């Protein structure tokens, strides 16, 4: 079976290659320039470009045709496809994938709304691949992916809410806008959309909260699979990762950089963790 | 000098100039887009449609007028996005009729072409609505036909069209209540006006800055609030259909049952279709029975709308009362979500009765009080005990502690949850104050003269100086330790903004790597309140 995701999974290039995971790109537009996310621009280059730009970035979902092209080689061979995507509340990508599926009435294609984005989506994709490698049937993996989509939790902070606001993805964190005093928002991606969790004043307190949230998640000796991501915030992320790895029961799935599309909406300077009991 | 005709070169130039002005105003047009669906993409759609027309014109190698006009119309049709884009493509296609073999367009050709185009556009839209881009183009076409009878100067004709379009656009809110409620003009109509204005600028050879529309237009309402919409047909679905015997009317009739905002344009072999539907798969399935479907685009307008305007706010479970001194501090507490800010009075000592009245006044029966001073705490506790409401008093002893707690408050959290967040936030913030000494005194090692600025931290005088800025710098030195990330200064009534800004930069130069924030506190007695965290 083939697993296909979209570029907002923010997995490193070598991971896609090693795990043989297909990736369909979204598109980024900044001023007069456009890039195919993941394929055309490296995260670090995009952070620098975005910091220098005065224009607001915009992103768009892949066309149904892009998914048709991605499905075609496997669909025609009769290989089942598991297509796992960014939350349908944040992007029309899932919709495009569904439309593409209707082009292959005879093929076995399951399209999954991960209700996640970035490292959360990446986590769902990687854990599904793990299942595939351990010999699970297609149906088992499909059921597992749906289950993960309900359980995976992502917590993140952004340097400024401006990007989420301008990109229109602020969702239920809307209430944080207009705060006169400078705060670091702690946000949560759950049930497919963004919620405001807390406002803290200092980075130290923010990191403490990430640690506390992970500790709460691993309470009663549950084992947690965890991932960490950042945009132009590597040093802080490394420090956080060191602290998180000391929590009993926590094991690391992956660490990544936020890609172009996600950074367009979260901005540079973001920090995120994802975990799920497993 | 009069311009009496438009050849291939000028045609390319004016279409390109019109397209550019639409693109420049894209964001504004998106913002005022409330009808038929407030999905905020009219500007983008029109800009992309016209960009496609320009690209196609540039791509054709033939230099004839016929080739240019046909390329623009074809490009617009193939690249048409959204209702307004399809209408624009029809207007351009109106110009292609009878173009064969011609190398010049005269004023009356433009007028007649526009009239033909708008008739096609009305036909293409299933339920044409007045007060939209259709009205604006129709009235402009009527004006053009009338003017072309006597006016042969091309730029004068366009000038007349711009005037007419402008007055049409201004009248759109009178025709469409949705626009009036939102306090905007029709986005598509405004886009068409931009298109004409771009052409006119080019012909008049204007070289000054192209003023964006938004700066010229005053609008009073809030499009986001007024835009209420039902989302049964939330998927904006577009595609191109190629077949042998396509009937526009038949397609329109079938799609009318599946959604609204139906637009079908083209001929018997190729049609571009646009519909808002709840079931895009069914629409595409139906289309595939008629011919080959390509260039499919499906947008979830609810996602676009929610993305743009956010979702509804949750109701309030908890009322927060803060006690504060100074307009700046009061404002910061209100901004943080306090429902009521009680004025601390000159001695920062409101009575139990004042506190009791505040508790009764707020909406929720769950009340959290931030006393922000040790003296206020007992009065607040007493008032809380007498009230039938569930009152919790947090031990905030200073205004910065109160603000830290206030910032931790979240509107949509439960009262218990908020209490624990706010309590947690109080610790970890150190707070000091700079005020004037009333008399000469020696306090420990600090010698104070009347009128000096003294720095107080943890109830003790830590420093004294003739200059209040020096006092701040010295107090901060004494308060700070290596774990502090952030210094916040609140300047009082007696300090000007410029003085405070200057102090902030001095402070920044002495504390590199720390964030320094400056806010107006407006406190009547202390010069500065400073906090470290």
Whether residues B165 and B242 fall in one domain: no
pLDDT of residue A175 exceeding 80: no
A102 touches chain B (CB under 8 A): yes
Q: What pLDDT does B217 receive?
A: 37
B428 touches chain A (CB under 8 A): yes
A99 touches chain B (CB under 8 A): yes
A196 touches chain B (CB under 8 A): yes
Q: What is the ipTM of this complex?
A: 0.82
Contact A136, A103 (CB under 8 A): no
Which CATH number covers residue B154?
Answer: 1.25.40.340
Would you kindly state where each structural domain of chain A is located, as residue ranges?
Answer: 2-150, 153-277
**Residue A276 pLDDT grade (very low, low, confident, very high; cuts 50, 70, 90):** very high
Q: What pLDDT does B314 receive?
A: 35
Whether residues B28 and B166 fall in one domain: yes
Q: Which two tokens stand for residue B347?
A: 């001695």
For B11-31, the pLDDT digits (tens) are: 999 999 999 999 999 988 988
B79 touches chain A (CB under 8 A): no
Q: Does B488 reside within a domain?
A: yes
**Residue B306 pLDDT grade (very low, low, confident, very high; cuts 50, 70, 90):** low
Q: Does B441 reside within a domain?
A: yes
Q: Which two tokens stand for residue B54?
A: 């320009």
**Residue B310 pLDDT grade (very low, low, confident, very high; cuts 50, 70, 90):** very low
Q: What pLDDT does B224 receive?
A: 41
**Residue B402 pLDDT grade (very low, low, confident, very high; cuts 50, 70, 90):** very high
Find out if CATH 3.40.50.720 is the number for domain A2-150: no
B280 touches chain A (CB under 8 A): yes
Most A-contacting residue of B48, B287, B296, B312 (CB-CB within 10 A), to test interface: B296
Contact B331 A180 (CB under 8 A): yes
Domain that holds residue B243: 235-309
Residues B425, B421: Cα–Cα separation, whole Å = 6
Q: Residue A153: enclosing H or E segment and its boundaries? A: strand A153-157
Q: What pLDDT does B211 receive?
A: 65
Q: Which two tokens stand for residue B132?
A: 């939209």
Residues B304, B307: Cα–Cα separation, whole Å = 5
**Residue B220 pLDDT grade (very low, low, confident, very high; cuts 50, 70, 90):** very low
Which CATH number covers residue B488?
Answer: 3.30.1180.10
For A221-235, the pLDDT digits (tens) are: 689 999 999 999 999
pLDDT of residue A3 exceeding 90: yes
For B90-146, the pLDDT digits (tens) are: 899 899 888 888 888 888 999 999 999 999 888 877 778 889 999 999 999 999 999
Which CATH number covers residue B365?
Answer: 3.40.50.510
Domain boundary among B426, B458, B486: B426
Q: Does B185 reside within a domain?
A: yes
Domain boundary among B370, B394, B426: B426
For B482-517, the pLDDT digits (tens) are: 889 999 999 999 999 999 999 999 999 999 889 999
Q: What pLDDT does B307 receive?
A: 57
Contact B199, B14 (CB under 8 A): yes
For B243-261, the pLDDT digits (tens) are: 878 888 888 888 888 888 8
Q: What pLDDT does B28 receive?
A: 87
Report percent pLDDT > 70 for chain B: 92
Contact A88 B303 (CB under 8 A): yes
Whether residues B251 and B371 fall in one domain: no
Contact A180 B335 (CB under 8 A): yes
Partners of A58 in the beta sheet? A29
Mean pLDDT of B213-221: 41
Residues A24, A18: Cα–Cα separation, whole Å = 17
Closest CA to B526 of B405, B441, B400, B428: B400
Q: Does B100 reside within a domain?
A: yes
pLDDT of residue B315 exceeding 50: no
Whether residues B47 and B167 fall in one domain: yes
| Range with lowest mean pLDDT among A108-122, B214-228, B513-527 | B214-228
For A83-133, the pLDDT digits (tens) are: 999 999 998 899 889 989 989 999 999 999 999 999 999 999 999 999 999
Which CATH number covers residue B265?
Answer: 3.30.70
Contacts of B488 in chain A (CB under 8 A): 181
Contacts of A182 in chain B (CB under 8 A): 515, 517
Q: Does B228 reside within a domain?
A: no
A153-277 topology per CATH: Hypothetical Protein Tm841; Chain: A;domain 3 (3.30.1180)
Query: What Cα–Cα distance (Å) separates residue B165 from each residue in A100, A265, B32, B181, B261?
Result: 42, 37, 17, 22, 23
pLDDT of residue B302 exceeding 60: yes
**HSE, side-chain direction, 13 A CA sphere, residue B58:** 9
Most A-contacting residue of B280, B288, B298, B422 (CB-CB within 10 A), to test interface: B298
Contact B483 A89 (CB under 8 A): no
Q: Evaluate whether A2-150 and A153-277 have a shared fold.
A: no
Whether residues B195 and B336 fall in one domain: no
Whether residues B401 and B419 fall in one domain: yes
Whether residues B347 and B478 fall in one domain: no
Contact A171 B407 (CB under 8 A): no
Number of H helices, E strands in chain B: 22, 16
Q: What are phi and psi of B98, to 5 degrees?
A: 75, 15
B225 touches chain A (CB under 8 A): no
**Residue B212 pLDDT grade (very low, low, confident, very high; cuts 50, 70, 90):** low
Mean pLDDT of B398-409: 94
A167 touches chain B (CB under 8 A): yes
Contact B335 A202 (CB under 8 A): no
Q: What pLDDT does B210 receive?
A: 66
Residues B17, B176: Cα–Cα separation, whole Å = 30
Closest CA to A272 of A179, A202, A180, A209: A209
Q: Does B445 reside within a domain?
A: yes
Contact B296 A203 (CB under 8 A): no
Domain boundary among B426, B446, B472: B426
Residues B414, B405: Cα–Cα separation, whole Å = 15
Q: What pLDDT does A124 receive?
A: 98
Cα dihedral A19→A20→A22→A26 (10° resolution): 50
A190 touches chain B (CB under 8 A): no
Contact B281 A64 (CB under 8 A): no
Most A-contacting residue of B43, B408, B513 (CB-CB within 10 A), to test interface: B408
pLDDT of residue B230 exceeding 70: no
Contact A47, A232 (CB under 8 A): yes
Angle among Cα A215, A218, A222 to the nearest 5 degrees reads 165
Most B-contacting residue of A63, A92, A194, A203 (CB-CB within 10 A), to test interface: A92
Mean pLDDT of chain B: 86
Q: What pLDDT does B30 receive?
A: 86
Contact A102 B284 (CB under 8 A): yes
Whether residues B284 and B149 fall in one domain: no
For B54-69, the pLDDT digits (tens) are: 999 988 888 899 999 9
For B435-459, the pLDDT digits (tens) are: 988 778 777 778 888 889 999 998 8
Q: Does B222 reside within a domain?
A: no
Q: Does B223 reside within a domain?
A: no
Residues B331, B12: Cα–Cα separation, whole Å = 56
Residues B454, B433: Cα–Cα separation, whole Å = 8
Residues B413, A64: Cα–Cα separation, whole Å = 40
- In B397-527, beta strands by DSSP E: 430-436, 441-443, 446-448, 453-457, 460-465, 486-491, 515-520
Mean pLDDT of B464-481: 94
For chain B, the domain total comes to: 4
Q: What pLDDT does B209 receive?
A: 60
Whether residues B79 and B210 fall in one domain: yes
Whether residues B290 and B334 fall in one domain: no
Q: What pLDDT does B208 receive?
A: 58
B284 touches chain A (CB under 8 A): yes
Tell me how many residue pairs between chain A and chain B have CB atoms under 8 A apart.
Answer: 94
Q: Which two tokens stand for residue A10?
A: 């923010």
Mean pLDDT of B281-299: 82
The Cα of B407 is separated from the nearest Cα of chain A by a number of Å equal to: 6
For B359-400, the pLDDT digits (tens) are: 998 888 999 999 998 888 888 988 898 899 999 999 999 999
Contact B452, B465 (CB under 8 A): yes
Whether residues B48 and B187 fall in one domain: yes
């Amino acid at each position: 079976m083939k697993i296909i995701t979209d570029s907002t999974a923010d997995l490193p290039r070598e991971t896609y290659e090693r795990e043989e995971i297909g990736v369909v790109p979204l598109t980024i537009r900044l001023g007069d320039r456009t890039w195919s996310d993941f394929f055309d621009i490296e995260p670090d280059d995009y952070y620098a470009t975005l910091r220098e730009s005065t224009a607001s970035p915009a992103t768009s979902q892949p066309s149904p045709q892009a998914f048709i092209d991605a499905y075609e080689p496997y669909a025609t061979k009769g290989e089942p496809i598991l297509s796992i995507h960014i939350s349908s509340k944040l992007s029309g990508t899932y919709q495009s994938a569904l439309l593409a599926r209707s082009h292959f009435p005879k093929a076995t294609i399951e399209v999954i709304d991960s209700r996640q984005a970035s490292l959360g989506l990446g986590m769902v994709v990687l854990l599904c691949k793990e299942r595939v490698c351990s010999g699970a049937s297609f149906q088992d993996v499909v059921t597992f992916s749906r289950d993960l989509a309900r359980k995976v939790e992502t917590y993140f902070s952004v340097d400024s809410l401006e990007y989420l606001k301008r990109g229109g993805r602020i969702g239920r964190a809307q209430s944080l806008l207009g705060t006169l005093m400078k705060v670091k928002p702690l946000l949560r991606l759950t049930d497919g959309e963004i919620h405001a969790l807390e406002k803290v004043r200092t980075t130290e307190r923010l990191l403490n909260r990430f640690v506390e949230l992970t500790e709460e998640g691993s309470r009663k000796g549950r084992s947690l699979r965890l991932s960490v991501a950042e945009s132009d915030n590597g040093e802080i992320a490394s420090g956080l990762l060191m602290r998180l790895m000391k929590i009993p029961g926590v094991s690391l799935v992956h660490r990544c950089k936020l890609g172009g599309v996600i950074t367009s909406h979260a901005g540079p300077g973001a920090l995120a963790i994802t975990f799920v009991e497993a | 000098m009069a311009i009496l005709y438009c050849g291939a070169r000028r045609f390319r130039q004016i279409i390109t100039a019109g397209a550019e002005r639409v693109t420049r105003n894209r964001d504004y047009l998106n913002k005022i887009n409330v009808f038929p669906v407030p999905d905020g993409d009219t500007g983008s759609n029109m800009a992309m449609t016209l960009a496609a027309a320009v690209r196609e014109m540039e791509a054709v190698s033939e230099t004839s007028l016929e080739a240019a006009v046909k390329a623009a119309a074809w490009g617009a049709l193939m690249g048409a996005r959204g209702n307004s884009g399809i209408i624009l493509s029809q207007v351009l296609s109106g110009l292609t009729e009878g173009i064969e073999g011609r190398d010049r367009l005269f004023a009356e050709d433009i007028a007649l072409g526009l009239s033909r185009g708008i008739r096609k556009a009305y036909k293409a839209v299933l339920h044409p609505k007045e007060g939209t881009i259709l009205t604006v183009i129709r009235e402009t076409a009527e004006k053009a036909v009338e003017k072309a009878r006597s006016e042969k100067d091309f730029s004068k004709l366009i000038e007349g069209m711009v005037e007419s379009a402008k007055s049409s656009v201004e009248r759109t809110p009178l025709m469409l209540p949705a626009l009036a409620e939102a306090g905007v003009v029709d986005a598509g109509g405004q886009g068409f006006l931009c298109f004409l204005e771009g052409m006119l600028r080019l012909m008049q050879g204007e070289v000054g800055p192209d003023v964006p529309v938004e700066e010229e237009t005053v609008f009073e309402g809030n499009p986001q609030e007024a835009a209420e919409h039902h989302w049964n047909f939330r998927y904006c679905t577009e595609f191109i259909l190629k077949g042998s015997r396509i009937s526009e009317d038949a397609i329109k009739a079938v799609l009318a049952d599946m959604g609204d905002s139906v637009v079908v344009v083209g001929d018997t072999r190729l049609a571009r279709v646009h519909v808002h539907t709840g079931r895009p798969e069914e629409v595409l399935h139906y289309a595939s029975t008629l011919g080959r479907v390509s260039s499919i685009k499906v947008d979830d307008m609810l996602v676009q709308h929610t993305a743009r305007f956010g979702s509804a706010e949750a109701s309030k479970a908890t009322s927060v009362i803060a006690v504060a001194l100074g307009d700046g501090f009061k404002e910061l507490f209100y901004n943080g979500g306090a429902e009521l800010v009680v004025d601390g009075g000159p001695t920062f000592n409101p009575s139990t009765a004042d506190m009791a009245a505040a508790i009764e006044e707020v909406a929720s029966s769950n009340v959290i009080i931030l006393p922000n001073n040790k003296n206020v705490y007992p009065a607040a506790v007493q008032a809380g005990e007498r009230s039938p409401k569930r009152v919790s008093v947090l031990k905030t002893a200073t205004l910065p502690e109160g603000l830290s707690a206030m910032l931790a408050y979240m509107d949509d959290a439960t009262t218990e949850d908020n209490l624990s967040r706010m309590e947690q936030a109080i610790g970890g913030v150190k707070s000091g104050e700079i005020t004037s000494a009333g008399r000469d005194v020696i306090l420990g090692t600090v010698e104070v003269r009347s009128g000096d600025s003294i720095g107080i931290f943890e109830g003790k005088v830590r420093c004294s100086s003739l200059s209040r800025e020096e006092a701040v710098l010295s107090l901060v030195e004494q308060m700070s330790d290596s774990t502090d990330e952030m210094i916040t200064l609140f300047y009082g009534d007696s300090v000007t903004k410029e003085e405070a800004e200057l102090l902030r930069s001095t402070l920044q130069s002495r504390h590199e790597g720390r964030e320094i924030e400056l806010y107006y506190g407006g406190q009547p007695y202390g010069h500065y309140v400073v906090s470290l965290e």
